[in-house]
Amino acid sequence: MACFLVPAAEAVITTVASKVIKSKESSPETVHISLDDSTVTEAVKTPFSQKLKWLSNLLWGGSSLLAFEHVWHGEVVPWFPFISVADNPADIAMMFNEMLTVGVTMAVLVTAVWGGILAISNVIEKRAVKSADILQLK
């Protein structure tokens, strides 16, 4: 009914957090990397604010497309109070229950997937720096 509101709320928080972190971040760290295991190039590391933006993109994108699905099914309407079941207390209780179960699980899973992307990108970054170190020692 309104499960997309939970990831949308998280999207607002991560967008604000990303902007605050970006304003406080120092200039990105410069490192030597090897992209093809044969040449070494100088590059700057992707700052955390940029990585946090990946999460807000996932959340904004997903919740906006899901909002469209709710409009499609008539659960979200373009007039106040925007939720079609808003005048029935029993349906409102069901809506909050859905937000607490489906919505929270959506937000948690998207965040977990982003955590996985961060872990993999960390490994890739370390591998690129390590192979550059090996090439420089040769």
Partner 1 sequence: MALLTTVFAAITCTIIWYCTAPKSQMKIGILCFMYWGASIMWFVDAVFEYARIHEKYFNPAPADMLNDFYLGLSVVALGLVIWLVILLVKDPKGAVKSALFKKKD
Q: Rule CB under 8 A: which residues touch partner 1?
A: 3-4, 7, 54, 57-66, 68-69, 72, 101-102, 105-106, 109-110, 113
Least Å from the CB of residue 137 to partner 1: 27
Say if residues 52 and 25 touch (Cβ distance below 8 Å): no
Least Å from the CB of residue 7 to partner 1: 6
Instruction: For partner 1, give the closer residue by CB, 46 or 84.
Output: 46
Half-sphere exposure of 62 (CA within 13 A, CB side): 21
Least Å from the CB of residue 35 to partner 1: 9
Instruction: For partner 1, give the closer residue by CB, 3 or 76.
Output: 3
Say if residues 35 and 128 touch (Cβ distance below 8 Å): yes
Instruction: For partner 1, give the closer residue by CB, 3 or 132.
Output: 3
Least Å from the CB of residue 66 to partner 1: 5
